[in-house]
A = this chain, B = another copy of it.
Amino acid sequence: MGQKRLGRRTVQLTKNIGLISWASVVGPKEGSGPLASFFDEILSDDKCGCESFEKAEGAMMKRACDMALRKGGLTPEAVDVMLGGDLLNQIITAAFTARDYPFPFLGLYGACSTMSESLLVAALILESDGFDTALCVTSSHFSSAERQYRAPLELGNQRTPAAQWTVTGSGATVLSTVHPARQFIRAVTVGSVCDYGITDSNNMGAAMAPAAIDTLMTHFADTGRRPCDYDLIVTGDLGLLGAEIVREQCRIRGLDLGDRYFDCGERIFDTEQDAHCGGSGCACSAVTLNGYILEQMRRGTARRVLFLATGALLSVLSAQQGESIPGIAHAVVIENEVSS
């Protein structure tokens, strides 16, 4: 067993893997929500001047990457490798965005867990000392997701009470072992695929909650830490219902997450915004991390954060074939430079 390994699924990083810059771009609806002031750019047009929602999603990811590089004072040549993915079939958003840059690309698919999956894989790759600087990115778009996963928007289908609203946005983080930073990834816990037999694709929160609980329980068991060792514990896009399941099931298992826990899907929209159970999509956790959470860390109001984006592993076809919806949640520990 590697000396850095804690328990079965957690790795403690020994190199200083810094979050040297980050950026978030969101659509108009997200830009009218409670986190609006934390985003770098709010689009006035959710088509981003493009002729399709899919191309708009690509343009948005490109803006997030460019802005993360610009905020870090980096040229594209400073990046060794890009890691990313998205919800569209064959992750075309990330692949086509990577085409515009000189650096190589590793495509990931973790559904809405992609933000933490990319940070986790990038952190382990930087820990290997093979590469120095990695760009991690993901995106989602309400309109491209709706028509791929559910139904054409033109149908005007009524949404179920458990439904969540796919966040339109993109978040990008640059990790580096060689550039100055004040926030660092200190540990990662890899997610396992958990399936509790949920088949309602309008209730993603319930489908993903078991994976979030499993990763939380594993992380605390592996590290010997308690929730109070973190200032914030944040899941990705479980929404109101899924987050409630996590709170209750963790409590039953002896893990009181308390006030330090929230789910990005609970925070990104106001109840008046008609998002039902809250936000979802890869961008839900990506823009909350690269907007709100990292700003809290920069201000020092949070110094150690456990961030776990959550993904529902289904396709239209798997649902049509009667398959249930497994979930996955990858966790990363982000700490400020001077941490207790």
Contacts and interface: CB of A to CB of B under 8 A. Distances in A.
Interface string A37-65: 00000000000000010110000000000
A198 interface: no
Interface string A119-135: 01100110111111000
A155 interface: no
B193 A95 contact: yes
A301 interface: no
Q: Please tell me how many copies of the chain the complex holds.
A: 2
Q: Give the residue among A8, A129, A148 with the most B Cβ atoms within 10 A.
A: A129
A107 B104 contact: no
B117 A124 contact: no
A3 interface: yes
Interface stretch (A81-89, A232-240, A259-267): A81-89
Contacts of A193: 95-96, 98-99, 105
A109 B110 CA distance: 9
Given A108-B109, A131-B2, A192 B321 contact: no
Nearest to A178: B1
Nearest to A14: B129
Contacts of A92: 313-315, 317-318, 323
Contacts of A99: 193-195, 326
Nearest to A6: B130
Contact of A108 (B103, B108, B148): B108
Given A124-B124, A190-B104, A326-B99, A90 B5 contact: no
A55 B128 CA distance: 37
A129 B313 contact: no
Contacts of A321: 52, 54-55
Contacts of A91: 109
B109 A107 contact: yes
Contacts of A318: 54, 90, 92, 96
Contact of A105 (B5, B55, B125, B192): B192
A334 to B, nearest CB: 17
A89 B128 contact: no
A9 interface: yes
A11 interface: yes
Interface of A: 1-5, 8-9, 11, 13, 52, 54-55, 80-81, 85, 88-92, 95-96, 98-99, 102-111, 117, 120-121, 124-125, 127-132, 148, 177-178, 188, 190-195, 313-318, 321, 323, 326, 328, 330
Given A92-B315, A95-B193, 18 more contacts: A55-B321, A89-B315, A89-B316, A90-B111, A90-B318, A92-B313, A92-B317, A95-B326, A98-B192, A99-B326, A102-B192, A106-B108, A106-B330, A107-B111, A108-B109, A124-B131, A127-B128, A148-B317
Closest 10 CB pairs of A and B: A11-B130, A104-B190, A127-B128, A95-B313, A90-B315, A128-B128, A89-B315, A109-B109, A99-B193, A107-B109
